[in-house]
Amino acid sequence: MTKISEETQETRTGGLTSKPVVDRKDKQQKRESKNVMQVEDLNLWYGSNQALYEINMDVPEKRVTAIIGPSGCGKSTFIKTLNRMVEMVPIVKTSGSIKYRDQDIFNGNFKQEYLRTKVGMVFQSPNPFPKSVYDNVAYGPRVHGIKKKEVLDEIVEKSLKDAAIWDELKDRLDANAYGLSGGQQQRVCIARALAVEPDVILMDEPTSSLDPISTSKVEELVQELKKKYSIIIVTHNMQQAARISDKTAFFLNGELVEFAETDDLFQNPQDKRTEDYITGRFG
Amino acid sequence: MLGQNEEGIKKRMEGRVLKNKIMAGLFFLATSVGLIFLVLLFYRVLTQGIGYLNWNYLTSGPAPYPEEAGIWVGMIGSIMLMAIVAIFSVIIGVASAIYLEEYASQNKFTEFIRVNISNLAGVPSIVFGLLGLTFFVYIFNFGYTLIAGGLTMALLILPVIVVASQEALRSVPIDLHQASLGMGATKWQTIARVILPAALPGILTGTIIALSRAIGETAPLIIVGAATAIYTLPDSLLAKYTAMPIQIYNWTARPQEEWQFVAGAGIIILLAVLLLMNSIAVLIRNKFQQRL
Ligand SMILES: Nc1ncnc2c1ncn2[C@@H]1O[C@H](COP(=O)(O)OP(=O)(O)OP(=O)(O)O)[C@@H](O)[C@H]1O
Ligand SMILES: [Mg+2]
């Protein structure tokens, strides 16, 4: 079940001044938790179409945050804003602020490249490069200037192990990643994201194109990964959100309707709209 | 519903099937027109030229007598010309395409440039000849030299290469951009390591097809002063030169019948080179498609 693992509070490096998550349960239990990202009054427009309205959200460190909501409510837009990927669409305008470990990511001096090194992303459909498994996973480290074969070998092995696919692929590192199954490709993409050693991992419906077995592998993996990483995962599947996340955010029409501990949100929703959605009384 | 007037349907079916056959026949006929003329062309060129096509023809330059004349100087001239054309047009063309597709902000101005580059690809080659004459021959003062000819031809196929490279770059899935940028790669790293390798087969195919257009071009070369009778190979970029189409054009213009056969042999060589280049382009494309 979902509960905060005790070690998350101990393994944290001190010195960062983040305020505790302000939500009901945390207040009730007076539990302290650090935030890795803080979103304040975020608005986003595609041209003249507003897609996000006044979003405020604190993303807790080393936990899994699920984002649910009906199609078109702005889930992808929101998480792509967190690594500024959304700006690949030229007409996008934003207002408000997003902080990554107390640094404003929209600040001109804050490099996008740095942000994306720290805030990695796994996409909806597997998107390996048309290169070997090894070159896929080594891509990030190479981009960041690591050239030594031994170092790269080590990173590749570690990342593939962390992505729970080393045993399947250790003899096929030279094979083209396009020749793998969809589930394998997605885990290679996760390994590729891990190789950069990010702090936060954004996942946009990472299992939506996978079969049930691959899906449960990725879900198990997410549970493993949260020991080291803060994870934000978009999902269409409420059971999945309930299974794997610690906190859940419910989006509707570009608004963040409710954000709470996953158990609370599903068992005791505060907002009528959340209740309608999770009980299926919703379009 | 259909069962009620099965008879009518059957009757109409025959009509429809017949109509289909007639249409198929008409389309075949249309295709045949092109094919027949192509076959006639090959037949004429082969029967006229094959007699003169021998080792001696391949290895000697122009001569006062048809039996001694050869394509060597023209062939090497064309190859050197193409080398210059390829170097300049590919470097500038691919770089422009990268700028337009990957770096330029998408606004009215860049859209205007895009449209006009496509339009330039349709400008008659003789206009490029005049451009080359003004700039390279006179203003740059290269005179009637290999480099002036090469640069003129490079300008001629530049728009084709830009457009082909843009299309190749555009066809690289946005997924791959996102994957690379999402790991903190810069735009240039993404282009150099992911986008260009993926677009390369398309760029190569486009380049070869553009070059095969250039290798057959005559008009602009005449304007920028390719020599019609030259006996030695060009020894520098600033040397006089000739090219296969110029040589062939020169031979066909002569009154004695034998020269037509000499020209025919030249056309066979030119066609062979063209076919070779196009086959390479097709090979690259097929290999690439298999890989995906
Ligand atoms: N590139 C774009 N240009 C213009 N509008 C866009 C663009 N991408 C998304 N939108 C709009 O923004 C809104 C939110 O879209 P978004 O993709 O974030 O939804 P989503 O919650 O991820 O939906 P889904 O569950 O279907 O993936 C939608 O109304 C959509 O039409
Ligand atoms: Mg989405």
Backbone Cα Rg of chain B: 25
CATH number at residue A197: 3.40.50.300
Above 60 in pLDDT, residue A282? no
* Residue nearest ligand 1's atom 24 by CA: A71
pLDDT value, residue A146: 93
Test B194 with A129 for CB contact under 8 angstroms: yes
Test A116 with B182 for CB contact under 8 angstroms: yes
Local confidence band at B152 (pLDDT 50, 70, 90 cut-offs): very high
Tokens describing residue B226: 């390719």
In a domain? residue A46: yes
Cα A97-A42-A61 angle, rounded to 5 deg: 65
Above 90 in pLDDT, residue B159? yes
Above 70 in pLDDT, residue A32? no
pLDDT value, residue B49: 87
Asked if the C-beta of A6 comes within 8 angstroms of chain B's C-beta atoms, the answer is no
Say if CB A137 and CB A184 are below 8 A apart. Answer: no
Test A90 with B106 for CB contact under 8 angstroms: yes
Above 60 in pLDDT, residue B256? yes
pLDDT, average across residues B127-149: 93
Local confidence band at A33 (pLDDT 50, 70, 90 cut-offs): low
Q: Which residues contact A218 (CB under 8 A, 6 or more apart)?
A: A183, A186, A187, A190, A206, A207, A210
pLDDT in tens, A113-129: 999 999 999 998 899 99
Q: Any idea which of A58-62, A234-238, B104-108 has the lowest mean pLDDT?
A: B104-108
pLDDT in tens, A240-265: 999 999 999 999 999 999 999 999 99
Local confidence band at B2 (pLDDT 50, 70, 90 cut-offs): low
In a domain? residue A190: yes
Q: Any idea which of A198-202, B7-11, B262-266 has the lowest mean pLDDT?
A: B7-11
- The C-alpha atoms of residue B226 and residue B230 are separated, in whole angstroms, by 9
Above 70 in pLDDT, residue A29? no
Test A120 with B182 for CB contact under 8 angstroms: yes
pLDDT in tens, A121-163: 999 889 999 999 999 999 999 999 999 999 999 999 999 998 8
pLDDT, average across residues B118-140: 92
pLDDT top residue among B288 and B73: B73
Above 50 in pLDDT, residue B260? yes
Q: Which residues of B touch A189 (CB under 8 A)?
A: 179
In a domain? residue A283: no
Comparing alpha-carbon positions, the chain B residue that sits nearest to A191 is: B183
Percent residues over pLDDT 90 in chain B? 54
Nearest-Cα distance to chain A for B113, in Å, is 18
pLDDT value, residue B11: 83
Test B183 with A88 for CB contact under 8 angstroms: no
Above 60 in pLDDT, residue B35? yes
User: What residues 139-178 of chain A have any CB closer than 8 A to a CB of chain B?
Assistant: 139-140, 142-144, 178
pLDDT value, residue B107: 83
Asked if the C-beta of B194 comes within 8 angstroms of chain A's C-beta atoms, the answer is yes
pLDDT value, residue B22: 95
pLDDT, average across residues A269-276: 92
3-class DSSP state of B53: coil
**Residue linked to tokens 């994957």:** B179
- The C-alpha atoms of residue A88 and residue A201 are separated, in whole angstroms, by 19
Cα B94-B235-B158 angle, rounded to 5 deg: 20
Above 70 in pLDDT, residue B82? yes
The one-letter amino acid code at B222 reads: I
pLDDT in tens, B234-247: 888 888 888 999 99
pLDDT value, residue A4: 42
What is the residue range of A199's domain? 2-105+114-278
Q: Which residues contact B34 (CB under 8 A, 6 or more apart)?
A: none
Local confidence band at A31 (pLDDT 50, 70, 90 cut-offs): very low
Q: Any idea which of A64-78, A152-166, B54-68, B159-173 has the lowest mean pLDDT?
A: B54-68
pLDDT value, residue B234: 85
The one-letter amino acid code at B158 reads: L
Q: Any idea which of A62-71, A211-220, B194-203 has the lowest mean pLDDT?
A: A211-220
Asked if the C-beta of A128 comes within 8 angstroms of chain B's C-beta atoms, the answer is yes
Across chain A, mean pLDDT equals: 87
pLDDT value, residue B291: 53
pLDDT, average across residues A65-70: 95
| Domains identified in chain A, total number | 1
pLDDT top residue among B63 and B269: B269
Across chain B, mean pLDDT equals: 89
Above 90 in pLDDT, residue A6? no
Q: What is the number of the ligand 1 atom nearest to the C-alpha of A47? A: 4
**CB-ligand 1 contact for A68 (6 Å cutoff):** no
**CB-ligand 1 contact for A76 (6 Å cutoff):** yes
Comparing alpha-carbon positions, the chain B residue that sits nearest to A121 is: B182
Q: Any idea which of A42-56, A199-213, B145-159 has the lowest mean pLDDT?
A: A199-213
Local confidence band at A19 (pLDDT 50, 70, 90 cut-offs): very low
Cα B93-B96-B100 angle, rounded to 5 deg: 140
Nearest-Cα distance to chain B for A189, in Å, is 9
In a domain? residue A149: yes
Ordered alpha helix ranges (H), chain A:
7-10, 24-29, 75-82, 112-118, 133-143, 149-162, 166-169, 182-194, 212-225, 238-244, 262-267, 272-278
Sheet holding A92-100, edge to edge: A103-104, A92-100, A35-46, A49-60, A255-261, A247-252, A64-68, A230-234, A200-204, A119-122
Q: Any idea which of B27-41, B86-100, B146-160, B274-288 has the lowest mean pLDDT?
A: B274-288
- The C-alpha atoms of residue A154 and residue A134 are separated, in whole angstroms, by 11
pLDDT in tens, A82-101: 999 999 888 999 999 999 99
Percent residues over pLDDT 90 in chain A? 74
Q: Which residues of A touch B292 (CB under 8 A)?
A: 130, 178
Above 60 in pLDDT, residue A5? no
Nearest-Cα distance to chain B for A7, in Å, is 28
Percent residues over pLDDT 70 in chain A? 87
Local confidence band at B153 (pLDDT 50, 70, 90 cut-offs): very high
Percent residues over pLDDT 70 in chain B? 97
pLDDT value, residue A47: 93
CATH architecture of residue range(s) B73-291: Orthogonal Bundle (1.10)
Cα–Cα distances in angstroms (integers) from residue A191 to residues A125, A162, A208, B144, in the given order: 15, 7, 18, 60
Q: Write down the domain spans for chain B.
A: 73-291
pLDDT value, residue B287: 80
Say if CB B226 and CB B138 are below 8 A apart. Answer: no
Pocket test for ligand 1, best of A77, A88, A236 (most atoms within 8 A of CB): A77
